[in-house]
C-alpha cells in the first residue's frame, strides 16, 4: 500500500512570499489532516477534511492560510503571505472514515518550510 505522499520536501522562501504544499492521501482514506509542527513542539491540527468537506479548521489562520481538497482526494495547503513564524514542518495525514487513531492514521513525510 502506498503511503501518504507530500511535496515538496523542503522549501525556503522570503517573508511575504506565498507557498503551496501538496498532499496525496492513501487511496480510500476519506479523512485528511494538515498539521503544523513548530520546532520543539508537537504537531498542531490546522484543518481536517472529510471527503471534500471541512470538518475542523478552527486553528487555521484564515487571514493567510487556505486549504482545499478538490474531488475528495488530493489536497493543497497555501500560505500567503508567509511570516517568519510560519517556519515549521507541515505534516499531512489521512485515515479511514471513522477509524482514526493509530490503526487508521498515516502520516506523510512532511514539508519543512523555512521563512527568512
Partner 1 sequence: EDKVVQSPLSLVVHEGDTVTLNCSYEVTNFRSLLWYKQEKKAPTFLFMLTSSGIEKKSGRLSSILDKKELFSILNITATQTGDSAVYLCAVEGNTDKLIFGTGTRLQVFP
Residues that bind partner 1 (CB under 8 A): 31, 33, 40-45, 48, 55-56, 89, 91, 95, 98, 100-103, 105, 107-110, 112
Q: Which residues are 102's β-sheet partners?
A: none
- Answer for the pair 72, 61: CB distance below 8 angstroms, yes or no: no
- Pick 16 or 44: Cβ nearer partner 1: 44
What's the min distance (Å) between Cβ of 16 and partner 1?
Answer: 26
Nearer to partner 1, 42 or 71 (CB): 42
Q: How many whole angstroms separate alpha carbon 108 and alpha carbon 44?
A: 15
Nearest C-alpha neighbor of 26 from the set 91, 74, 78, 68: 74
For partner 1, the closer of residues 25 and 43 by Cβ is 43
Question: How far apart are CB 33 and partner 1 at their closest, in Å?
Answer: 7
**What count of other Cβ atoms lies within 10 Å of the Cβ of residue 11?**
18
Are 112 and 12 a contacting pair, CB within 8 Å? no
Q: Which is nearer to partner 1, 39 or 70 (CB)?
A: 39
For the CB of residue 31, give the shortest distance to partner 1 in the complex, in Å: 6
Residue 17: DSSP 8-state: -
Closest separation in Å from C-beta 45 to partner 1: 5
Cell of 111: 514539508
Amino acid at each position: 500500500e502506498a503511503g501518504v505522499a507530500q511535496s515538496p520536501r523542503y522549501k525556503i522562501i522570503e517573508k511575504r512570499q506565498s507557498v503551496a504544499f501538496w498532499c496525496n492521501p492513501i487511496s480510500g482514506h476519506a479523512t485528511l489532516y494538515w498539521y503544523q509542527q513548530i520546532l520543539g513542539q508537537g504537531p498542531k491540527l490546522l484543518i481536517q477534511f472529510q471527503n471534500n468537506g471541512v470538518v475542523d479548521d478552527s486553528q487555521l489562520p484564515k487571514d493567510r492560510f487556505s486549504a482545499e481538497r478538490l474531488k475528495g482526494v488530493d489536497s493543497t495547503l497555501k500560505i500567503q503571505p508567509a511570516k517568519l513564524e510560519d517556519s515549521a514542518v507541515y505534516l499531512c495525514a489521512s485515515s479511514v472514515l471513522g477509524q482514526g487513531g493509530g490503526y487508521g492514521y498515516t502520516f506523510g513525510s512532511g514539508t519543512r518550510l523555512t521563512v527568512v
